[in-house]
Structure 1
Amino acid sequence: MASDFLGAGFAFPFGVTARGKLAWARAEQRIEESIYLILATRLGERLMLPQFGCAVHDSLFAPNGPATRTRAVDSVRRALVAWEPRIDVLDVSAEEDPAEPSLLLLRINYRIRANNALANLVYPFYLNESS
């Protein structure tokens, strides 16, 4: 029953199995892929659903300071609350990588509503993609 709610669908990015069939993602993997899809989509990028996505991309070329990290955390939290109903967002934090000054590591802790499982992921976001 819970796995029905968590869903199943094509894997993201699309892939092909060893048998030549399209790869599928199920349950928790599907949720993680959905989070990556939401965060990787700029607002306005989808023509038929321009409000879908995450405003973190508005921080491109911004200095890697506390204000930028705060805006990124807020953007990620708002996007996930709006577009991923299968999870509760517990915490979002942004850290800079000392080895890569233009990289923000967005750490997301969440709970899957269907089974109360805790999960987390790190989404790398480059403020300056030329680095």
Structure 2
Amino acid sequence: MSAVDVAFPYRVDARGRTATTPHADHVRDMAELVLFTSPGERVNRPDFGCGLLDLVFAGNSPELAATLEMTARAALQRWLGDLLTVQSLTVSADEATLHVRVAYALNATGENHTLTVSGGSGR
């Protein structure tokens, strides 16, 4: 029997059962969770996450982008290193917007995927 990946956010499918999702989508969902969870937000895992949302109102700068690049790469490696291999992670500051692009390969299949998130930042 193969492993089943539960869909995120949790929902019930048309049959009234827990919805499932393909493995690649499940890994993408988990990567988004790591990026958007603030350290300290999870009671039983206070060091989980990288705090991208904490930076929404931070002053946008190249230094902020470099710091986020380092912390996001470390968090993805720590929490999802058994599921994916980060091939590249770039953070760019454009006006009042941060763009985060993660290129990764699934360890189970070797498939390449890209996750891109953008968000506003104050000045």
Q: What is the correspondence of 1:77-116 to structure 2 with a 5 Å cutoff?
A: 77-84=73-80, 85-97=82-94, 101-116=95-110
Which residue of 119, 125, 129 maps to 2:119?
A: 125
CA RMSD of aligned residues (A): 2.1
**Contact in 2 for aligned 1:102/1:127 (Cα 8 Å):** yes
Paired residue total = 121
The normalised TM-score by structure 2 is 0.84
Shift of 1:40: 1.4
**Match for residue 61 of structure 2?**
65
**CA deviation after TM superposition for structure 1 residue 65, in Å:** 1.4
Counterpart secondary structure, 1:10: coil
After TM superposition, the runs of 4+ consecutive aligned structure 1 residues lying more than 6 A away are: none
Query: How many angstroms apart in 1 are the aligned matches of 2:51 and 2:115?
Result: 18
**How many Å apart are 1:57 and its aligned residue?**
4.1
Q: What is the letter of the counterpart of residue 87 of structure 2?
A: L
More strand by share: 1
Unaligned segments of structure 1, at least 5 residues: none
Instruction: Give the gaps of 5 or more residues in structure 2.
Output: none
Normalising by structure 1, we get a TM-score of 0.80
